[in-house]
Structure 1
């Protein structure tokens, strides 16, 4: 008899808990998930890209465009994590940071980007720098 009573009380508690959970929900509320990822930045998304911008898109955007891992990491240290929107980057700083590596970003060897290519990327990123 005691087992039956325990089972009955347990079932009643489960029903009460389920009813409480349903009472606060409305049929129009859908569970919210994470926001959608931004569209990737590619050469096809910017057909009028300058040569430096094209190099940035092919060699850097996978990490430094919206949704990239580098953008998430930079958001912890700077107000503007998107390199193309920063106004404090000089071309020389970009070249040195890329060649030497900085923070979690590894050094970019000449086999991945020549000095001329890196200079074009750096000048593209420095175009928004305040004098």
Structure 2
């Protein structure tokens, strides 16, 4: 008799466990969330009306310093506004110095890659938002 009671209790436990599992499987399992999509890159084709300094920035700098660029990600650790075009604290002289000498993880940009005249146009474009 004792054995039959234990079997009955074991059977009841299995039924309850099965019912609980059945209820859990009725609710849909939310899909795991992945990382957010990367922002669209800034390119010459995304800004057809760009001024000369802006065009050079898009051609020479935006791949790292535009939305989703590695330079932007690294600057986000050190400054409130990592997008160079949105910063208000950049002077043209600072941009030229940082580009020619390199700064942090950014390598020095030699004259063979960007001429002095082109770098000056880029620097003026980035300094346009500087507060006086």
Q: TM class by shorter-chain length?
A: 0.7 to 0.9
Aligned residue in 1 for 2:39: 38
Cα separation, 1, equivalents of 2:79 and 2:26: 39
Aligned residue in 1 for 2:64: 63
Aligned residue in 2 for 1:52: 53
Root-mean-square deviation over aligned CA pairs: 2.3
SS of structure 2 residue aligned to 1:37: coil
Cα separation, 1, equivalents of 2:25 and 2:123: 54
TM-score, with length taken from structure 2: 0.80
Aligned length: 115
SS of structure 2 residue aligned to 1:67: coil
Aligned-residue offset at 1:25? 8.9
Q: Deviations over 1:54-84 (max 9, x none)?
A: 0000000000001000000000100000000
SS of structure 1 residue aligned to 2:105: coil
Which one has a bigger Cα radius of gyration? 2
Q: Deviations over 1:72-113 (max 9, x none)?
A: 000010000000000000000000000000000000000000
Aligned-residue offset at 1:24? 8.8
Cα separation, 2, equivalents of 1:101 and 1:62: 16
Cα separation, 1, equivalents of 2:26 and 2:72: 36
Cα separation, 1, equivalents of 2:128 and 2:26: 51
Aligned residue in 2 for 1:103: 104
TM-score, with length taken from structure 1: 0.81
The gaps in structure 2 that reach 5 residues or longer are 1-13
Cα separation, 1, equivalents of 2:130 and 2:109: 22
Aligned residue in 2 for 1:114: 115
After superposition, the Cα gap between the structure-2 partners of 1:76 and 1:26, relative to the gap in structure 1 and judged at 3 Å, is: farther
